Chains A and B, each alone.
Chain A
Amino acid sequence: MNGCIVAFCCEHSAYPAADLAGKLRLHYPENIRVIRVPCAGRVDVIHILKALEKGAAAVLVLGCEDGACHHITGNTRAKERVKYCNMLLKEVQIDGRPVAMFNLSPNAPHKFVRAVNEVTKIIKESGR
């Protein structure tokens, strides 16, 4: 399917937020595949690159809010890796596909939905 978003969701923040969105029957586009991780800090550059190679239109990493990472530095490291990944893509002139990090708390389902909607919009506008 076109325009697929691969989202790595941390089990302490984004994953429960996404679950809560489900419980509240908040709707967001179908084109997202969530991969559950124990901490955003587990996500490595190669995971993001392989997702893009597989054809993902965007790759997101979602972790805890700044200063509230259950494992202290996980979300900061994830942010750095996402930045590094964007640099790698820019180096080879493939920076059209969004690779981004979002921070949210487990009780913020609307933030999750907003992130998915925002990224879907960007994908549609870039014509993928």
Chain B
Amino acid sequence: METKIGVFLCNCGGAINNIDFDATVKKVAKFPSVTCANLSSDLCLEKGKEKMISCIRGENIERVVVAACSPEFQEHIFREVLEKAGLNGHLLSMANIREQCSWTHDGDVTEKAVELVKMAVNRVRLLQPMEKKELPVNREVLVVGGGFSASNTALQLSRVGLRTTLLEKEAVLGDGTEEMESFYGFDTGSMISAVEVDKNIEVLTSAQMTEVGGKIGDFSVRIRQEGGEILRKYGAIVLATGHQTELALDSEPQLRAEDEAISGLNIVSQEQFCCMLGNSGLETEPKTIGFMFDFSDENSRFTTLATLNNALEAKKKWGSEIYVFYKSVKVDSAGMEKLYQEARDCGVVFLRSEVPPRITAENGRVKIEAKDVFLGEDVILACDVLVAEELYLPAEGAENLSSLLSIRRDSKGFFQDENVHLYPVGSEKKGIFFIGGCRGDLDLGRVLTDISSVVMKVHELLSSGKILVELEKVKADPQKCVACLTCIRVCPHGAIQLVRVDGSKEVAEISDLACDACGICAAICPAKAIKFQGYRDEEILAQIEAIQEL
């Protein structure tokens, strides 16, 4: 196919200085279909872009290669330049002659640069234009949960103009926030009141999802409440189902108390201890208290926080002797180091042990035995109350939610971050997010960050009521598709379904909205029916063709 390709090279203001650009331009200009090749020193700046546009127009260029910095930075900028010049933005291919050529090799790299340009020219020759379209989306958001994360997310979404439904399976909101309240000092009551009066928030209690279908911008959710079922539509779903704790003594064999008489002893959870602290009618104030954490569960940030807070509180309130048995103290949350120091200064004793302490009964008191790492000796403590280690687990129902929504969880059952560093609150399905305790062991700082993060993402997605998509970026050719269902089964984003075309034939259809352009379906289709624009087989093979062919 005869076409006119323009190659624009840039030396990045002189930052690329080990390429003989004159020789390169000469060689490149001779490549088939290349009708113009020139060098700039500032292609991404206004002046450079304007020159590029007039060159494209003047020489009737149909496709463009930009040989400069990495496409990771500037690809979208140059796509815009093409559009301004009247070309489809997708008819662009970039050659990375800076980060992956000039800057990493010694000496003259002209030969490699020319080859990289040839690879891009080969590819751009085959690229096809892509249309963009704005597809309407539902602007309502479903937030599953009723605690701190859920409520605050709903409030913030309301502030940016989005309507939310808070879906809580218990009868009331704010379940499970008491501990957080006492540690961080916020008021659940006023938070719930704010939610209840907010016109943009609908609260459904004693309600659960029973079925979810659809995709981002258009989820259909069946909700069961007392008295019936309703069907609702949402543009995005946020899971904020929180966590639960379980006494490690009940489930971890190495911590299991060895004596039968243990059941009669005062072994409590952090929450129960909180209640004791708050109970002004307590019969006897415990004189010696033991705490345990971090032996069986690495997710111990929250329990560390709870222990430090409770220990300090008990010290101040009752003046008891307090001993904390730990494997490691995780102080990586804001303010924790200070809290830890304060506890030590107050006289709380921290005893480090490599293995979980043995717990037995002695004269009606709890006996804890452990070998202190620093003393190198066994420490035996008889205490009135033991606040035992807790496991930090996802809240009940997480497994059910995971299968309803087809999103995965990690080995501990928390909702898996698809890429912890870059996309912390997103699931593998576009439009479904998770925040807060259901993601794992978080502290308030991180929860607040999660909330802001998800509000921003949802706002970005839904606020205009439209999402701009590239049409048919990945498409299954209905002529070639044999409905073998392979792509449907492997798509990690649940973006493909079987539809009927021409009245009878069933073929795979890829949703432009839900597709995340990975190409896994394109690679696996046995009939080679799926075309992924920009990364079709021919487009990849054309780059290979250019290698070693100079």
Interface residues of A (CB under 8 A from B): 1, 4, 6, 11-12, 15-16, 18-23, 25-30, 33-39, 41-44, 46-47, 50-51, 54-56, 64, 68-74, 77, 81, 105-107
Contacts and interface: CB of A to CB of B under 8 A. Distances in A.
B506 interface: no
22 contacts: A18-B99, A18-B100, A20-B99, A23-B103, A27-B105, A28-B104, A28-B105, A34-B100, A35-B540, A38-B517, A38-B535, A42-B518, A42-B522, A47-B537, A51-B544, A54-B547, A68-B419, A71-B428, A71-B493, A73-B520, A77-B490, A77-B523
A30 B112 CA distance: 7
Contact of B520 (A27, A34, A51, A71): A71
Contacts of A72: 408, 418, 428, 492
A56 B540 contact: no
A11 B547 CA distance: 21
B535 A42 contact: yes
B519 A6 contact: no
Which one of B96, B420, B544 has the highest number of Cβ atoms from chain A below 10 Å of its Cβ?
Answer: B544
B519 A38 contact: yes
Given A1-B548, A6-B544, A35-B540, A41 B520 contact: yes
Contacts of B492: 71-74
A68 B422 CA distance: 10
B109 interface: yes
A126 B421 CA distance: 39
A71 B518 contact: yes
Nearest to A41: B520
Interface string B96-127: 10111011111001011001100100000000
A123 B254 CA distance: 51
Of A22, A44, A69, A81, most B-chain CB atoms within 10 Å: A22
Contacts of B418: 70-72
A113 to B, nearest CB: 8
B71 interface: yes
B523 A41 contact: yes
A38 B116 contact: no
Contacts of B544: 6, 35, 47, 50-51, 54, 56
A115 B423 CA distance: 26
B171 interface: no
Nearest to A43: B523
A97 to B, nearest CB: 14
Contact of B548 (A35, A55, A68, A106): A55
Given A15-B72, A51-B547, 14 more contacts: A19-B100, A20-B99, A26-B104, A30-B112, A43-B523, A46-B541, A47-B540, A47-B541, A54-B545, A54-B548, A64-B419, A72-B408, A72-B428, A73-B490
